[in-house]
């Protein structure tokens, strides 16, 4: 009974931590947002704050909890003030809470860690739980793995009363569900159909193994939110205030991603490239985005070097990846094996099976073709990148593919929820007439 109460309380605490007050948005001249959108924005800010706090030396570790208490109390105050009369009982918020609660109970009954988390990720989490800091990570295996996801895991474990490690992973569940509900806000539906749409996407993608301590689910959520703000920027009918605000959110998302897993750096480069290809955006806007991202990448390597961590992205996996050896990897057998497991990976992620045909259908029938061009380009570039990860690996290729292809494909899966939203918006009247 105590554990059930703790799970319930933990979810409430996470919701409050990730609330972004409308008061701040008014200050930025951003119009009234839905409560789901405010929590989405707050989760991005929350992750960014935790990224900054993850660099604090353990001698000043109490400062982390002072900052967290201030954030929590401030958010709680505004949450009550802004929602007490109108939206405290919001139907989308209730269903979001129910999904997180049910999946958290599922996690409590299936809290076993995966192989990578047992051997690498949880050791970093344990370092932070026991009062260590980023400077101690060099004593852990796979020190080149970034720390942000494990720091989030540790912080939400430590602020729980029982301090069971799986309680920290409830944030992963929350962020996963929230990102999907947030994308559903782009639809032209009423709240009931938005909930239905979100529920279908969640059911298609949910697997308890997503929350076994691996970090892919965090990247899924980050790139899902990225795709939402990217879509809003593409639409070209937003004010300068919104354009700047969404651009900041995109940069914070991509910044967070490169501190969660190394391959996110490459996926983020593709995302930045697509922004640079937008035709109606100013040269100043594009150069600001590009050089800001380059600066963040340089800063990431500089911090690793300063701390004394390994700056190699995947030592042991790509030992012969210099130009002279690349041709030796491009054999027909390796390409064939990679392609086989690649399609197995696509088939195991049901949302790809749905979203790719929808993209092709919309493209053929010229529905929102301009918007879809960028998502097609993203799909092709990301798939080529994932192929290259596998083809040029130095470890046994079949073992590598069996262990990782499904998880890597899942990391960027959320980007392609947007075509399903476009499809639903275009054909919603016909769909609901049938229903």
The tens digit of pLDDT for each residue in 235-259 reads 767 788 888 899 999 999 999 999 9
Instruction: Determine the structural domain holding residue 166 and report its residue range.
Output: 2-245
424 — pLDDT class (breaks 50, 70, 90): confident
> Would residue 302 count as lying in a domain?
no
Are 237 and 361 within one domain? no
Minimum mean pLDDT among 67-81, 214-228, 267-281, 363-377: which range? 363-377
Instruction: Examine the domain organization and report whether 151 and 48 are in the same domain.
Output: yes
Exposure on the CB side of residue 382, measured as CA atoms within 13 A: 26
pLDDT band at 85 (very low <50, low <70, confident <90, very high): low
Whether 270 is covered by a domain: the verdict is no
Which of 205, 229, 245 is the last residue before a domain boundary?
A: 245
Average pLDDT over residues 136-152: 89
Structural domain includes residue 102? yes
Is 267 contained in some domain? no
**231 shares its domain with 135:** yes
The pTM for the full model equals 0.94
Cα–Cα distance between 178 and 99 in angstroms, integer? 10
If you average pLDDT over residues 107-118, what whole number do you get? 91
Which position has the higher pLDDT, 173 or 29? 173
Domain annotation covers residue 287: no
- Within a domain: 208: yes
Distance CA 45, CA 39 (A): 10
DSSP alpha helix (H) spans, 54-190: 61-83, 91-109, 115-116, 122-129, 148-158, 165-168, 170-184
Average pLDDT over residues 352-356: 93
* Of the residues 191, 224, 245, the one at which a domain ends: 245
Contact present, 151 and 54 (Cβ < 8 Å): yes
Residue 393 confidence (pLDDT): 78
Asked if residue 342 and residue 233 are part of one domain, the reply reads no
In a domain, 49, yes or no: yes
Q: Are 278 and 286 in contact (CB under 8 A)?
A: yes
209 and 352, same structural domain?
no
Q: Where does a domain end: 245, 269, 287? A: 245
Decide: 140 and 124 in contact? Cβ < 8 Å: yes
Q: What average pLDDT is seen over the chain?
A: 88
Query: What separation in angstroms does the CA of 356 have from each of 37, 156, 363, 412?
Result: 27, 36, 11, 13
The number of residues in the chain equals: 435
**pLDDT band for position 431 (cuts 50, 70, 90):** low
Mention every residue, 6+ apart, whose C-beta is less than 8 A from residue 123.
140, 141
Number of domains in the chain: 2
* 27 within domain boundaries: yes
């Amino acid at each position: 009974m105590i554990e059930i109460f703790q799970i319930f309380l933990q979810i409430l605490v996470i919701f409050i931590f990730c609330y972004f007050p409308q008061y701040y948005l008014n200050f930025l001249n951003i119009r009234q947002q839905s409560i789901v959108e405010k929590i989405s924005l707050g989760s991005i800010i929350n992750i960014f704050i935790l990224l900054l706090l993850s660099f604090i030396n353990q001698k000043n570790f109490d400062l982390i909890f002072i900052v967290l208490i201030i954030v929590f109390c401030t958010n709680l105050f505004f949450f009550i003030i802004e929602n007490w009369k109108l939206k405290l009982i919001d139907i989308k918020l209730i269903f979001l809470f129910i999904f997180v609660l049910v999946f958290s109970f599922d996690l409590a009954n299936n809290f076993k860690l995966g192989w990578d988390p047992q051997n690498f990720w949880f050791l970093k989490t344990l370092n932070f739980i026991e009062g260590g800091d980023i400077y101690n990570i060099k004593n852990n295996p796979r020190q080149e793995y970034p720390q942000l996801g494990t720091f989030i895991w540790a912080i939400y474990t430590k602020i729980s009363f029982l301090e069971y490690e799986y309680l920290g992973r409830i944030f992963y569940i929350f962020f996963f569900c929230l990102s999907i509900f947030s994308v559903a806000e782009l639809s032209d539906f009423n709240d009931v159909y938005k909930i239905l749409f979100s529920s279908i996407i969640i059911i298609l993608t949910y697997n308890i193994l997503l929350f076994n301590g691996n970090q892919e689910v965090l990247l899924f959520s980050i790139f899902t939110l990225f795709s939402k703000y990217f879509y809003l920027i593409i639409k070209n009918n937003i004010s300068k205030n919104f354009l700047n605000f969404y651009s900041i959110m995109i940069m914070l998302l991509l910044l967070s991603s490169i501190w969660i897993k190394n391959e996110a750096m490459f996926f983020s480069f593709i995302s930045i490239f697509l922004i640079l290809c937008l035709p109606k955006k100013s040269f100043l806007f594009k150069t600001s985005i590009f050089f800001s991202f380059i600066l963040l990448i340089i800063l990431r390597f500089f911090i690793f070097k300063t701390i004394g961590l390994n700056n190699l992205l995947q030592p042991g996996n790509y030992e012969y990846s210099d130009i002279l050896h690349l041709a030796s990897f491009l054999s027909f057998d390796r390409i064939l094996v990679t392609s086989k497991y690649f399609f197995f990976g696509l088939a195991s992620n049901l949302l790809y099976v749905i979203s790719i045909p929808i993209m092709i259908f919309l493209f053929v029938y010229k529905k929102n073709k301009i918007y879809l061009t960028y998502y097609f380009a993203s799909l092709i570039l990301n798939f080529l990148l994932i192929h290259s990860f596998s083809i040029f690996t130095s470890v046994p290729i079949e073992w590598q593919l069996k262990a990782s292809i499904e998880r890597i494909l899942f990391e960027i899966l959320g980007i392609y929820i947007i075509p399903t939203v476009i499809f639903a918006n275009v054909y919603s009247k016909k769909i609901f007439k049938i229903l």
